[in-house]
């Protein structure tokens, strides 16, 4: 079975940094694009960032561009989200998400078929 | 960026009812539209991909259609486990956006 294990969430002060990790098992990891999706308390889903299977292409929502960095280590089957200059509005459950289909690209794809369990980030003083 | 607008934002219905949720994209996304169901405290679950293809294991009472900018999700006969929040997502662009969600409640 495919499994995604999110970790790294916690309480951080405004302006601080945090790095999320998502360990993936059960697939040929390099064949799949990955994304991070977040959900603020009581709110809807927000796509945050995505990365191609090779790691050569990265994408960001306007709300996090310039502050967050997505990366992956295909030797460790892990995707990361480095979050800098955190704001109160970044408070959310962050889900790691696997793209459906082993095309290795984002865009013209078929959505997310496997999700992590979510890791909670709270930005507060 | 492509904006996704879902309607209604909330919906009350009874067991056995047929309900339809709509999703509109701000530009053509061809058939690159997915639908998800999310229950409280859980990760979303993929129901439909490529606008109308039912994900494996999803009950056949769920169906969907559309292309270009206008899409619909229909549940033919509501069951107790269907009451949840539903989201559409465009995957045409690498910057993938969700609709704001439709909260389906029991009447």
Cβ neighbours of B55 in A, within 8 Å: 113
Cβ atoms A13, A23 nearer than 8 A: no
User: Closest approach of chain A CAs to the CA of B1, in angstroms?
Assistant: 9
Give residue A22's pLDDT. 98
Say whether residue A109 is in contact with chain B using an 8 A CB cutoff.
yes
Say whether residue B96 is in contact with chain A using an 8 A CB cutoff.
yes
User: Which residue does chain A place closest to B6, by CA atoms?
Assistant: A44
> What does R_g of chain A's alpha carbons equal in angstroms?
14
Give residue A102's pLDDT. 72
- Residues of chain A with pLDDT below 70 are none
Q: What is the pLDDT of residues A7-22, one digit of tens each?
A: 999 999 999 999 999 9
Beta-carbon separation of B99 and A62 below 8 A: no
Give residue A101's pLDDT. 81
Cβ neighbours of B1 in A, within 8 Å: 61-62
Is the pLDDT at B69 greater than 80? The verdict is yes
Cβ atoms A52, A104 nearer than 8 A: yes
User: Closest approach of chain B CAs to the CA of A114, in angstroms?
Assistant: 8
Give residue A61's pLDDT. 97
Cβ neighbours of A60 in B, within 8 Å: 95
Give residue A104's pLDDT. 87
Query: How many alpha carbons lie under 13 Å from residue B12 in its C-beta half-sphere?
Result: 1
Q: Is the alpha carbon torsion for B59, B52, B35, A24 positive or negative?
A: positive
What distance in Å separates the CA atoms of residue A72 and residue A80, rounded to the nearest whole number? 6
- Phi, psi (rounded to 5 degrees) for B70: -120, 130
pLDDT grade for B85, boundaries at 50, 70 and 90 = very high
Mutation site for B-interface testing, chosen from A1, A35, A45, A114 by largest number of B Cβ within 10 Å: A45
Cβ neighbours of A92 in B, within 8 Å: none
Q: What is the pLDDT of residues B2-57, one digit of tens each?
A: 999 999 999 999 999 999 999 999 999 999 999 999 999 999 999 999 999 999 99
Say whether residue A22 is in contact with chain B using an 8 A CB cutoff.
no
């Amino acid at each position: 079975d495919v499994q995604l294990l999110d970790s790294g969430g916690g309480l951080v002060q405004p302006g601080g940094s945090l790095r999320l990790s998502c360990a993936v098992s059960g697939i040929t990891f390099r064949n799949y694009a990955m994304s991070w999706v977040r959900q603020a308390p009581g709110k809807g889903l927000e796509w945050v960032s995505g990365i191609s299977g090779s790691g050569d292409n990265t994408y960001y929502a306007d709300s996090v561009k310039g502050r967050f960095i997505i990366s992956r280590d295909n030797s460790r089957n892990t995707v990361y989200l480095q979050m800098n200059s955190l704001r109160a509005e970044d408070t959310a459950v962050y889900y790691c998400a696997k793209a459906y289909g082993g095309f290795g690209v984002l865009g013209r794809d078929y959505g997310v078929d496997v999700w992590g369990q979510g890791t909670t980030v709270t930005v507060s003083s | 960026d492509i904006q996704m607008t879902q309607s209604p934002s909330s919906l009350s219905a009874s067991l056995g009812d047929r309900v339809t949720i709509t999703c509109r994209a701000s530009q053509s996304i061809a058939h690159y539209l997915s639908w998800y169901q999310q229950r409280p405290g859980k990760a979303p679950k993929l129901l439909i991909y490529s606008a109308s293809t039912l994900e494996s294991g999803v009950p056949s009472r769920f169906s969907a259609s559309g292309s270009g900018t206008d899409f619909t999700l229909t549940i033919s006969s509501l069951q107790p486990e269907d009451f949840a929040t539903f989201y559409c997502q465009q995957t045409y662009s690498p910057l993938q956006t969700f609709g704001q969600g439709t909260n389906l409640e029991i009447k």
